[in-house]
Structure 1
């Protein structure tokens, strides 16, 4: 008898293992008897194809795979890709969905998927609140002060009703995927300011508790739009836009995400991409830090050697010209072929302009830089050092003459010995750097207006410092 029970237990365990090793989702459409349907998943706010299947004459499509799909929010997309509905996918990946396109929320039925039954209940709860939502939107659309004032308490009450539902759900279903999602959606509730605390208390509390309800060991959150939204808000609105502050926050968050491979992979990727492409000056230092600390040692295990080498090469191209570093030395020739050195060019400020006389954008921007230089920058102690990148010597000299670029120091590198393209990351033109008296990089890749504003702020800071010393 004990042996028989053991064999039954083994068979049951084997069946569970077989189920865990793959997925089988049966979708029954009431209104379709042909066509291809698709299964997609979120990756941050983007959506990606996971599988597809043909719908047979009975309206049935079967999605099957030998390996289980990662947990998260998935979308069942109808033929024609015009309509879809969301569902949850977690440990149980063998179930049936009956779909009636006339009422996706009210008439969709799941068989053997308790998680999606709960998700459907939540969506039906939201559907019942739709009249309240519409009424608030109608008031706000009028854009009058009285209507906006009327909408405010209604919106507060609606938000509380939704939050109360989610809180009750969290308490009742602590291990659910939907609970992890609801908790991640919550913002920290800032308490009243304690006695003795200054006006920054609310900000400091909010920042310190921002990630409290986000389970950074739950890789399922990667395949929802929630995580990317939390990352974007935190790093674009909460953390100060200073490279040192951002780097410290990146390292702390990555350390918390390391226990889960999916979470670690996504958080590191998002931070790397965000700061490689950041429009804010100086944030490329964060990108370089991430590459040096995580990619160079090989932590980004999912990348091919070619992909890894491209990222590392990009960081190494940026590293020599980060803001705050000394500008790399340049040994070139002036327009009369005499030797010219960056560090022998004395000035309070040096505006370094890499430009090409045949470049359409340069033809617009270089004269604008010259106008600003002659109007005000020259009085501030600025020297313009223009470096030809492409075009012939004749085209270069002709452009200088036609646009009266007098007062500039003009240089070029006919023997290509200075390696300026790599040292200054010149892959397009024009590229502008602002250097201080000791040739430290103060700013880079600025337009005329931005550079003008930057110089004015520097002048104001100097005046303020001088006044304090007096």
Structure 2
């Protein structure tokens, strides 16, 4: 019993010692005697500096740190930043590499890194297919007809088959290698023959349902590679139904699969948050608000400091009151004659709210265009226009209204700053346009004149169809 205790204690001490060792990469550059070498890592498709060191007169560089590197694909960037060698980092983080810039593929040699021996072997295989690749590229460039392009297809299929075969054999022989994890993630689901009784959506449903099967989301190994971000982008742009409710469901399901890996969870949540906060598509801010309320407010975003967290949460709280489908916030204002104006007392089939500034260059262009569309078409569709002054003097406001003959609008302002419209309607630049239905629910926002016109035309056609 005592012997087992000492063995366990020795194993623990060894483990702690290995963790304390961190990483050490010994690099020999054959054609350099000075300069600075950099180590960078992928984070998705972007690269970030990890470490750097000066090259000795003998061409040697030692990169080391007390904290182990997180797994992934790293770039050994040579002095001058014109050439680099991709290197795999996983559990083995003490190894050496000799790099000869006269032939980075065939003359690079690793010692003590089985992962990079596999990676180098794959890169050499790719290099050996260069003649076939060049032939394909040349024929595609010279192709003038569809028939010419079709002749290249067998060559492309041959190359693809060779690559897939190489990767599959590597996975079978080295199932636990980081390169195997990368190759499995790159592979897409193979759709079987459609079973009897299945409808035409079977292929799509199968592909989407098995898309993440071979993607290692429970470890950190894919975060510092370009692969995971590429998978995310394809999934959420090509496979997920482009509606907030569908996107939210897929976001939550995917995030749940990353919970065993702090780095995968962090990256996937960050990517989804940024992607939908900055989305150019109307209504996607609902996804951003959901993510913030579920994961950030609850404290799951462990990597953020209080200031960063508050900034994201405050942004979500600003967007929450003006999401598509929400009831518009009440507005009690004063018109040009200082008479009361109430949003909810303005009865109309549709209401267009325009937050604008008579001194704003963009407003000077867009507000007259909105007025032209209103007079040409929208007025006959039962649209009410409410223009709300945000900046500029009263004289500038009234002068602009008169000069551009903005007749038929309800012109108003919050002279006493009582409505808090900037936060409730997210008005931090102008113009900002909202379209409300007859119950004052938000049905569209931040649309240009042409888009708003199409939206109203479509709404009108739906109403006609409903009556028929």
Q: Shared fold by TM > 0.5? A: yes
Q: Deviations over 1:6-26 (max 9, x none)?
A: 989977875564333311101
Mapped contact 1:40–1:50 kept (Cα < 8 A): yes
Q: Is the 8 A contact 1:19 1:93 kept in 2?
A: no
Mapped to 2, the partners of 1:387 and 1:83 lie a distance apart of 57
Deviation at 1:268, TM superposition (A): 0.8
1:21-55 alpha-carbon deviations (Å, 9 max, x no partner): 31110111011110111000000011011100000
Alignment partner, residue 387 of structure 1: 388
1:374-406 deviations in whole A, cap 9, x for unaligned? 121112111111101000011011111111111
Tell me how far apart the structure 2 counterparts of residues 342 and 13 of structure 1 sit (CA, whole Å): 70
For residues 340-377 of structure 1, give each alpha carbon's deviation from its aligned partner in whole angstroms, at most 9, with x where no partner exists.
Answer: 01011111111111010111111111111111111211
* Matched residue, 1:20: 19
Output the CA distance in 1 between the equivalents of 2:66 and 2:369. Answer: 62
Measure, in 1, the Cα distance between the counterparts of 2:285 and 2:166: 43
Whole-angstrom distance in 2 between the partners of 1:189 and 1:466: 47
- Name the counterpart of 1:362: 363
Q: CA deviation at 1:192?
A: 1.8
Matched residue SS, 1:384: strand
Aligned residue pair count: 465
Deviation at 1:331, TM superposition (A): 0.4
Unaligned runs of 5+ in 1: none
Q: Distance in 2 between matches of 1:422 and 1:413?
A: 13
Give 1:465 deviation, angstroms.
Answer: 2.3
Q: Distance in 1 between matches of 2:153 and 2:58?
A: 50
Q: Are 1:206 and 2:207 matched, yes or no?
A: yes
Per-residue displacement from partner, 1:210-265 (whole Å, max 9, x unpaired)?
A: 11111111211000000001011111111011110001111111111111111111
Q: Secondary structure at the match of 1:219?
A: coil
Q: How far off its partner does 1:463 sit?
A: 2.4
Q: Is residue 141 of structure 1 aligned with residue 141 of structure 2?
A: yes
Q: For the residues of structure 2 that align with 1:329 and 1:6, how far apart are their CA atoms?
A: 72
Residue 170 of structure 2 corresponds to residue 193 of structure 1:
no
Does the aligned pair in 2 maintain the 1:20–1:91 contact within 8 Å?
A: no
1:80 paired with 2:80, answer: yes
For the aligned residue pairs, the C-alpha RMSD in angstroms reads: 1.7
Instruction: Tell me if structure 1 keeps the 8 A contact 2:437–2:443.
Output: yes
Confirm or deny that 1:156 pairs with 2:157.
Answer: yes
- SS of 1:249's equivalent in the other structure is helix
Are residues 1:353 and 2:354 paired? yes
CA distance in 2, matches of 1:165, 1:435: 58
> 1:278, 1:6 → 2: CA distance?
57
Structure 1 residue 297 corresponds to structure 2 residue 298: yes
User: 1:34-433 alignment to 2 at 5 Å?
Assistant: 34-144=34-144, 145-433=146-434
CA distance in 2 between counterparts of 1:79 and 1:36 reads 5
Does the 8 A contact of 1:354 with 1:387 survive in 2? yes
- 1:451 matched residue in structure 2: 452
CA distance in 2, matches of 1:111, 1:15: 22
Question: TM (normalized to structure 1)?
Answer: 0.96
